[in-house]
């Protein structure tokens, strides 16, 4: 009977040791891993909601100065980059041909006026002859036929004089035109501006039969116009009167401010259109943009024509509003509110907040969160688990 008791004692001791070993192993290997959090404190910031666009600088006013007459460009009085005043002499075209045309037109007027004086003298003779035939015919001393001839000559001469007067008026118009063309050989500045291009050099022949040939281009550079390409996704959000600013590629720190003047109604297309298959169905990959226009002062002429600009159209802005990172936001609810996780002590709790404007990095908190409270952006539970069995053995001395 002693043997079974001894066996029972050994079994009992073994069970106790096994339970103890299991408890120690569970405590060692199955302790919950402590979660660490990445947080950001709710803080007050200046927030700006805006639309970004790429723009190009244009002169506020550009005028192509051309020639209205044919001839050789004899003298060019300005150089590229010169500033000119309205009415200043810019260029001269060889005036010989226009001068000869004017002289010919003046001679034609003189010729017609001489013909008119001759006809007026003849008219006076025919008037006297007609009066004489009328008196003789009244006394039955002359024939009726002679009277009719005298009257016909008188009327014919009067009509000849009227025709000459019309020709004289036409010739005077030709003189005025020739004089104007002679004046067009001296080309003056139509506006105050800067010479930004010279298209015709001295010695070149100007031919303006079809259209006015451009000799040079003047531009007003004291004020520059920015043409910003706004995508169709953003154009419905902008309107004239919104504040704008831009930076240059070579100077991203300096900002140039203006106010949106207009949005062009016609789109500016870019991209390509591809046709699918051999049928008539086609698909377009083109992007649609609209030009937004605004002006900025350029007193020192630092801004140049055709410079590329990075434009910001400010939709809304606020000073020192409570903000948190956009990455901290959770699910959006039906009522428009959003959930966030807030770290209170060592515990994370879910909070419902109401948000306002955003710049895609920070978002305004209208209510539901206090300044300084920490919102959770991420935590260690979202990281992939590491299998310790696959890790290499620690290095050391053997």
pLDDT digits (tens, 9 = 90+) for 74-115: 999 999 999 999 999 999 999 999 999 999 999 999 999 999
Tell me, what DSSP letter sits at residue 138?
A: H
State the average pLDDT over residues 223-227: 94
pTM comes to 0.64
The DSSP string of 186-242 is EEE-SSSEEEEEE-S-TTPEE--SSSPEEEEEEEEEEEEEEEEEEEHHHHTT--TT-
The percent of residues above 90 in pLDDT, for the chain, comes to: 44
At 4-15, the pLDDT tens digits run 666 666 776 676
Query: Which residues are registered as beta bridge partners of 66?
Result: 214
Which residue from 48, 51, 40, 39 is spatially nearest to 364, judged by alpha carbons?
A: 48
Which residue from 391, 220, 245, 196 is spatially nearest to 299, judged by alpha carbons?
A: 220
**Does the pLDDT at position 212 exceed 60?**
yes
Cα(256)–Cα(296) distance, integer angstroms: 7
Chain centroid to CA 152? 74
Residue 127 tokens read as: 């008037």
Query: Which residues are registered as beta bridge partners of 367?
Result: 354
Place of tokens 């696959």: 390
Secondary structure (3-state) at 33: coil
Cα(239)–Cα(260) distance, integer angstroms: 7
State the average pLDDT over residues 362-382: 86
Cα(278)–Cα(145) distance, integer angstroms: 92
**Does the pLDDT at position 360 exceed 90?**
no
- Tell me the longest C-alpha to C-alpha distance in the chain: 198
Residue 144 tokens read as: 């009726």
At 238-253, the pLDDT tens digits run 999 999 999 998 888 8
Q: How many other CB atoms are there within 10 angstroms of residue 255's CB atom? A: 11
Q: At what angle do helices 144-183 and 96-138 cross, to 10 degrees?
A: 160
Secondary structure (3-state) at 65: strand
At 339-353, the pLDDT tens digits run 989 988 888 888 899
CATH topology of domain 37-47+319-380: 2.40.420
Q: Give residue limits of the domains in the chain.
A: 37-47+319-380, 95-184
Which residue from 351, 356, 285, 364 is spatially nearest to 324, judged by alpha carbons?
A: 364
Q: By the 8 A CB rule, do 184 and 67 touch?
A: yes
Q: What is the pLDDT of residue 323?
A: 93
Ramachandran category for residue 40: left, alpha or beta (phi over 0 → left; psi -120 to 50 → alpha): beta
Residue 62 tokens read as: 């550009």
* Total count of residues recorded for the chain: 398
């Amino acid at each position: 009977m002693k043997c079974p008791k001894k066996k029972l004692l050994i079994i009992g001791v073994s069970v106790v040791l096994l339970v103890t070993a299991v408890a120690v192993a569970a405590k060692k290997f199955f302790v919950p891993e402590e979660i660490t959090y990445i947080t950001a404190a709710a803080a007050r910031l200046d927030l700006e909601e805006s639309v970004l666009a790429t723009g190009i600088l244009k002169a506020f006013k550009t005028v192509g100065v051309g020639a209205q007459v044919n001839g050789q460009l004899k003298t060019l009085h300005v150089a590229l980059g010169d500033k000119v005043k309205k009415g200043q002499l810019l260029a001269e075209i060889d005036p010989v041909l226009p001068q000869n045309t004017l002289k010919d037109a003046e001679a034609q007027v003189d010729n017609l006026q001489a013909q008119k004086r001759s006809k007026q003298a003849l008219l006076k003779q025919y008037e006297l002859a007609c009066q004489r035939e009328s008196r003789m015919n009244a006394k039955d001393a002359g024939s009726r036929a002679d009277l009719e001839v005298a009257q016909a000559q008188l009327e014919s001469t009067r009509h000849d004089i009227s025709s000459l007067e019309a020709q004289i008026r036409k010739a005077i118009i030709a003189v005025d035109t020739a004089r104007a063309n002679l004046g067009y050989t001296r080309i003056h500045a139509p506006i105050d501006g800067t010479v930004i291009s010279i298209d015709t050099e001295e010695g070149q022949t100007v031919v303006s039969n079809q259209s006015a040939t451009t000799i040079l281009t003047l531009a007003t550079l004291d004020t520059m116009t920015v043409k910003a390409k706004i995508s169709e996704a953003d154009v419905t959000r902008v309107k004239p009167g919104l504040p704008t600013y831009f930076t240059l590629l070579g100077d991203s720190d300096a900002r140039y401010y203006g106010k949106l003047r207009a949005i062009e109604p016609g789109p500016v297309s870019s991209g390509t259109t591809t046709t699918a298959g051999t049928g008539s169905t086609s698909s377009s990959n083109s992007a649609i943009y609209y030009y937004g226009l605004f002006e900025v002062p350029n007193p020192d002429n630092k801004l140049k024509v055709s410079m590329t600009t990075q434009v910001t159209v400010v939709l809304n802005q606020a000073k020192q509003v409570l903000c948190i990172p956009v990455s901290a936001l959770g699910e959006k609810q039906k009522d428009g509110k959003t959930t966030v996780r807030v770290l209170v002590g060592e515990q994370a709790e879910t909070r419902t907040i109401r948000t306002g404007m955003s710049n895609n990095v920070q978002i305004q908190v209208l209510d539901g969160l206090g300044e300084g409270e920490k919102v959770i952006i991420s935590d260690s539970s979202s990281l992939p688990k590491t299998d310790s069995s696959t890790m290499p053995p620690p290095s050391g001395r053997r």
